[in-house]
């Protein structure tokens, strides 16, 4: 603030006496010092109520030497300053305050001597606006209660509220809960039925002014609670605005499903039987264990946190589920269903039919399969095995590590050609989309797959695998592949090509080879009728059989050539002195007899009451199940695995390294035979 200074003048006068210059000091007079602060009086506002927002600011002072007056207004109700800084005042001024409340005006002054007056204050109240009403309770949320009870609480920042009143509307059935307005005086409880409600609230003040109507919409859910162990023998129907709670127990359905349009909550529960969830329910689960299958249907939306699966999870019909910290399970998604997996350890995913799958920070143990137009995204994941992508499925892998990824280029119908991996033609053609972002993939396997009568000519192209099914026709020229599979009745021509692995002949069509290098050929033959005898890899007596018609032209080189035999319908097959058999499969009470057979990797698989007899042979492995019978005479075998009432005879000096017994199986061993290890899982 301005101040004035007193000037002191010192005059030096030189006096000359007798040749000596003598300085003389003369002091001038000094005015008296002003140390009294000025006085200031606040004329307006005064300590009163104002019903207007227009406030006059006016001051007076009796001091003649006042230099400046300034002031500042504080909103005590809001707890902040109305003025950002002090305001200089010179004459009466009108101020417009936009809020009601209690205010304090602070005023100061100084004089020309630099003295500042102590602040003077005045407190005043403005009540110029209509009152305001606040709905404290209920809020815009969902309430869960077995008694569907709600708390009503209203409030207002205004000082002179006269009356609160409210009214509740039932939006579910379109009617008023209260026939007229209800006067509110204190916090109270109201009991309502399940549904959606809107509470409207008003207020007025002592000046007769009305508050603007306020409203809040809330939902009331009726709780149905099951605690402890329960077995349900009928459907559980969850109504609209109902919540069924399962908690702290083991639950099972001897009959029935969970169905409805309300909410379902599960806390610390175990499901011991298959759980079927239908309808439009919203399902949440925390600390859930599923010992059996869970099927989620319709438009169900579910979220499980910390869930353990001991079996499969299936999603159908636009169902949506989120899994967090899940363990186990094979998951299949169908029919536009949606799956989100976070921080989980799962077995495998099979996505089909326009389903959507997002997996992050998780692991997959086994092979996963993507079909149809499904879309799957893996982020920061590990897949120990691999992923197969078919048809128009889409796979995005980011910041992840996976096993092999197989991309299946499928020609379903029509005539097609591939030249230098450029595809052209007409018909049905499915090409999956795969994106790899900042990830490590063990290997990438691109597969050409022919289905349902498609015809393909492929030239000058390398694919990991070629597969032909049904009545498809495939011609390969100047191509490289690791494996070629032929099934059903397809016809295949391969020229000027290299096959690094096996050519698997499982077709009843024709196969022609010329100028081809092949690591090995597997020739599969299926016997449906007859009593068949074979010697040195030839056989007679087949009446109904399926086998490839293989023709080799010039320059066909191969290292290994194996036969695989499928024996059905009580057919009797006897083979002696064969060295090119890789697999025997016996079904439907078929009888297989093998003598003097020594072949690497030889395996015998018997099911459905089939019988197998081995004489003087070396077998790598025998699988027996479904009441099949196995007898080995004077033979050696690395392993026999028995399941489901199968029986094994180990006699006449036979030698077996390992015998596995499962599911009500049994065996006999003669004294002159040897079994190194027996594992009994029965």
Write the pLDDT tens digit of every residue in 266-320.
999 999 999 999 999 999 999 999 999 999 999 999 999 999 999 999 999 999 9
pLDDT at 114: 86
Lowest mean pLDDT among 61-65, 74-78, 276-280, 499-503: 61-65
Q: Is residue 122 located within the same domain as residue 153?
A: no
Lowest mean pLDDT among 147-161, 319-333, 384-398, 531-545: 147-161
CATH number at residue 160: 2.60.40.10
Residue 437 domain flag: no
Residue 103 domain flag: yes
Q: Is residue 115 located within the same domain as residue 159?
A: no
Q: In what order do the strands lie in the sheet with 54-60?
A: 41-44, 54-60, 93-96
Percent of all residues in the chain with a pLDDT value above 90, rounded to a whole number: 74
Distance CA 364, CA 351 (A): 14
| pTM of the predicted structure, to 2 decimals | 0.67
Write the pLDDT tens digit of every residue in 171-190.
999 999 999 999 989 898 88
**C-alpha 127: how far from chain center:** 55
Q: Is residue 168 located within the same domain as residue 142?
A: yes
Percent of all residues in the chain with a pLDDT value above 70, rounded to a whole number: 95
Of 129, 163, 197, at which residue does a domain stop?
A: 129
Return the C-alpha torsion angle 565, 570, 571, 574, nearest 10. Answer: 80
pLDDT at 29: 54
- Taking CA 608 as the corner, what is the angle to CA 606 and CA 610, rounded to the nearest 5 degrees? 50
Residue 332 domain flag: no
Q: What is the mean pLDDT of residues 527-533?
A: 92
Alpha-carbon distances of 128 from 103, 163, 185, 310, 594, rounded to whole Å: 13, 18, 24, 69, 108
3-state secondary structure of 508: coil
DSSP 8-class letter at 212 = P
Q: What is the mean pLDDT of residues 579-601?
A: 89
Q: Is residue 157 located within the same domain as residue 99?
A: no
Residue 559 domain flag: yes
Look up residue 155 and give its two tokens: 């409030």
Residue 562 domain flag: yes
The percent of the chain in helix, strand and coil, each rounded to the nearest 5, is 0, 60, 40
Write the pLDDT tens digit of every residue in 537-589.
788 998 888 888 999 999 999 998 888 999 999 999 999 988 888 899 999 99
Q: Is residue 119 located within the same domain as residue 144?
A: no
pLDDT at 19: 43
**In this structure, are residues 178 and 198 in contact, taking their beta carbons and an 8 Å threshold?**
no
Q: What is the mean pLDDT of residues 321-348?
A: 95
Domains: count for the chain: 3
For residue 44, give the nearest of 33, 60, 32, 29 by alpha carbon: 60
Q: Which residues of 37-59 are buried (b: 16+ CB within 10 A; e: fewer)?
A: bbebebebbeeeebeeeebebeb
Write the pLDDT tens digit of every residue in 206-239.
888 888 899 999 999 999 999 999 999 999 999 9
pLDDT at 534: 84
Residue 344 domain flag: no
Sole residue written with tokens 């569907």: 148
Q: Is residue 121 located within the same domain as residue 159?
A: no
Mean pLDDT for the chain? 90
Q: Is residue 147 located within the same domain as residue 124?
A: no
Q: Is residue 598 located within the same domain as residue 652?
A: yes
Q: Is residue 623 located within the same domain as residue 561?
A: yes
Of 221, 247, 268, at which residue does a domain stop?
A: 221
**C-alpha 137: how far from chain center:** 35
Domain boundaries, position 23: 1-129
Q: What is the mean pLDDT of residues 495-505?
A: 95
pLDDT at 286: 97
Q: Is residue 95 located within the same domain as residue 207?
A: no
Write the pLDDT tens digit of every residue in 626-681.
999 999 999 999 999 999 999 999 999 999 999 999 989 999 999 999 999 999 98
pLDDT at 30: 61
Q: Is residue 105 located within the same domain as residue 163?
A: no
- How is 630-666 classified by DSSP, letter by letter? EEEES-EEEEEEE-TT-EEEEESS-EEEEEEE-SS-E
Residue 617 domain flag: yes
Residue 449: is its pLDDT beyond 50? yes
pLDDT at 31: 64
pLDDT at 17: 38
Q: Which residues of 79-89 are buried (b: 16+ CB within 10 A; e: fewer)?
A: eeebeeeeeeb
Q: Is residue 563 located within the same domain as residue 634?
A: yes
Distance CA 343, CA 362 (A): 5
**In this structure, are residues 135 and 199 in contact, taking their beta carbons and an 8 Å threshold?**
yes
Residue 588 domain flag: yes
Of 104, 129, 154, at which residue does a domain stop?
A: 129
Alpha-carbon distances of 607 from 530, 604, 626, 680, rounded to whole Å: 19, 10, 6, 20
Question: How would residue 24 be classed by pLDDT, with cut points 50, 70 and 90?
Answer: very low
């Amino acid at each position: 603030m301005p101040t004035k200074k007193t000037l002191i003048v010192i005059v030096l006068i030189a006096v000359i006496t007798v040749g000596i210059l003598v300085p003389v000091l003369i002091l001038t007079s000094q005015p008296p010092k002003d140390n009294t602060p000025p006085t200031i009086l606040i004329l307006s506002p005064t300590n009163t109520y104002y019903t207007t927002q227009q406030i006059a600011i006016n001051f007076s002072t009796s001091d003649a030497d006042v230099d400046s007056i300034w002031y500042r207004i504080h909103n005590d109700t809001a707890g902040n300053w109305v003025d950002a800084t002090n305001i200089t005042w010179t004459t009466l001024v009108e101020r417009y305050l936009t809020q009601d409340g209690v205010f304090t005006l602070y005023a100061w002054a100084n004089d020309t001597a630099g003295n500042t007056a102590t602040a003077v204050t005045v407190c005043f109240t403005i009540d110029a606006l209509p009152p305001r009403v606040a709905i404290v309770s209920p809020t815009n949320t969902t309430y869960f209660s077995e008694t569907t009870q709600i708390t009503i609480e209203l409030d207002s920042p205004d000082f002179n509220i006269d009356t609160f009143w409210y009214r509740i509307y039932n939006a579910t059935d379109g009617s008023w809960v209260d026939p007229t307005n209800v006067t509110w005086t204190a916090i109270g409880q109201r009991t309502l039925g399940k549904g959606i409600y809107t509470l409207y609230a008003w207020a007025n003040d002592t000046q007769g002014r009305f508050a603007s109507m306020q409203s809040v919409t809330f939902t009331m859910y009726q709780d149905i609670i099951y605690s402890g162990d329960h077995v349900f023998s009928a459907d559980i129907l969850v109504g609209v605005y109902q919540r069924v709670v399962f908690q702290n127990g083991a639950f099972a359905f001897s009959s029935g499903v969970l169905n409805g349009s309300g909410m379902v909550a599960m806390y610390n529960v175990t499901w011991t039987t298959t759980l079927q969830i239908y309808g439009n329910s919203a399902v949440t689960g925390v600390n859930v264990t599923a010992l059996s299958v869970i099927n989620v249907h319709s438009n169900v939306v579910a979220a499980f946190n910390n869930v353990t699966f001991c079996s499969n999870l299936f999603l159908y019909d636009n169902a949506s589920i989120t899994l967090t910290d899940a363990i186990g399970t094979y998951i299949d998604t169908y029919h536009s269903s949606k799956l989100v997996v976070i921080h989980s350890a799962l077995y495998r995913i099979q996505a089909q039919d326009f389903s959507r799958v997002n997996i992050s920070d998780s692991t997959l143990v086994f092979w996963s399969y993507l079909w149809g137009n499904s879309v799957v995204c893996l982020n920061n994941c590990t897949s120990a095995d691999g992923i197969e992508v078919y048809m128009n499925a889409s796979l995005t892998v980011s910041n992840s590590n996976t096993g092999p990824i197989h991309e299946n280029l499928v020609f379903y119908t029509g005539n097609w050609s591939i030249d230098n991996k450029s595809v052209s033609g007409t018909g049905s053609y499915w090409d999956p989309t795969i994106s790899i972002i900042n990830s490590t993939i063990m290997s990438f396997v691109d597969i050409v797959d022919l289905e349902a009568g498609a015809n393909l000519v492929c030239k000058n192209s390398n694919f990991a695998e070629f597969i032909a099914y049904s009545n498809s026709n495939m011609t390969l020229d100047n191509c490289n592949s690791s494996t070629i599979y032929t099934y059903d009745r397809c016809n295949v021509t391969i020229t000027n090509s290299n096959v690094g692995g096996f050519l698997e002949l499982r077709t009843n069509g024709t196969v022609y080879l010329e100028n081809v290098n092949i690591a090995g050929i597997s020739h599969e033959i299926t016997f449906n009728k007859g009593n068949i005898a074979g010697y040195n890899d030839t056989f007679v007596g087949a009446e109904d059989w399926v086998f490839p018609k293989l023709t080799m032209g010039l320059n066909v080189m191969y290292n290994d050539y194996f036969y695989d035999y499928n024996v059905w319908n009580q057919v009797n097959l006897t083979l002696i002195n064969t060295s090119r058999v890789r697999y025997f499969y016996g079904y439907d009470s078929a009888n297989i007899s093998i003598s003097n057979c020594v072949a690497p990797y030889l395996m015998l698989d018997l099911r459905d009451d089939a019988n197998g007899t081995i004489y003087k042979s070396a077998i790598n492995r025998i699988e027996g199940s479904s009441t099949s019978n196995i007898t080995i005479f004077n033979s050696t075998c690395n392993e026999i695995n028995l399941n489901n009432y199968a029986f094994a005879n180990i006699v006449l000096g036979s030698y077996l390294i390992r015998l596995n017994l499962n599911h009500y199986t049994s065996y006999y061993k003669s004294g002159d035979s040897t079994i190194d290890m027996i594992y009994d899982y029965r």
